[in-house]
Structure 1
Amino acid sequence: MSTDIGTLRGLAHLARLEFDATREQQMLADLNNILDFVAQLEGLDTTGVEPLVHLSQEVNVLRDDEARNTVSHQDGLRNAPRKDSDYFRVPKVLE
């Protein structure tokens, strides 16, 4: 399977890409190499092969998501550059 320069230019237009002449030829060669590789993959016999849900058998070990306070309110405000009693002071964002 291969493609021509017109198809490449159409794809480049859809992707909002611009190539000079030498880069265009290079991209055309790369695209044809990719399509040839995909054609090789299509020729493989995959009967009896289970589809993969995950690429690896690794299992993530995650902790339970429990809401809890790890930093007290006073400890959180201790290093604040500006604070007003119980609140952080930040620069005004909206006019």
Structure 2
Amino acid sequence: MIIDEQTVDKVAHLARLELSAAEKPEIIKDMNKILGFMDKLNEVDTTGVEPLVYMTDDENILREDVVKQVITTAEALENAPEHDGSHFLVAKVINK
């Protein structure tokens, strides 16, 4: 597959990018290099190779969830710009 200006325009539209006329030749060149590299990868014989999901066989070692320090509501609200004594007050962000 060869990338042309129409393909770049379509991809730019889908990605919500605005490309100048001067940028398009460089993008075409870069995208063709990427596709060339992918073609090289397709030449590699992967017969018998299991798909790799994780880079190692290590498992996460999780610690026990233990409460170490408890603060009171009053302490939590000390530096709040606005509060009503028991809750943080924030500006309304959703209009219905």
TM-score scaled by length of structure 1: 0.70
Q: Superposed, which structure 2 residues align to 1:5-24 within 5 Å? A: 5-24=5-24
Asked if the contact 1:5/1:28 (under 8 Å) is kept, the reply is yes
CA distance in 1, matches of 2:90, 2:17: 40
Check 1:24–1:91 CA distance in 2 against 1; reply closer, same or farther (3 A cut).
same
Between Structure 1 and Structure 2, which shows a larger proportion of helix residues?
1
Give ranges in structure 1 of 5+ residues lacking alignment: none
Give ranges in structure 2 of 5+ residues lacking alignment: none
Between Structure 1 and Structure 2, which shows a larger proportion of strand residues?
1
- Asked whether 1:71 is paired with 2:70, we answer yes
Check 1:81–1:19 CA distance in 2 against 1; reply closer, same or farther (3 A cut).
closer
Asked if the contact 1:4/1:28 (under 8 Å) is kept, the reply is yes
Secondary structure of 1:21's aligned partner: coil
Partner of 1:49 in structure 2?
Answer: 49
Which letter maps to 2:69?
T
Which letter maps to 1:71?
V
Which of the pair has more CA radius of gyration? Answer: 1
Partner of 2:40 in structure 1?
Answer: 40
The one of the two structures with greater contact order (alpha-carbon pairs below 8 A, sep at least 6) is 1
TM-score scaled by length of structure 2: 0.69
Shift of residue 77, structure 1, vs aligned partner:
2.9
Check 1:77–1:7 CA distance in 2 against 1; reply closer, same or farther (3 A cut).
same
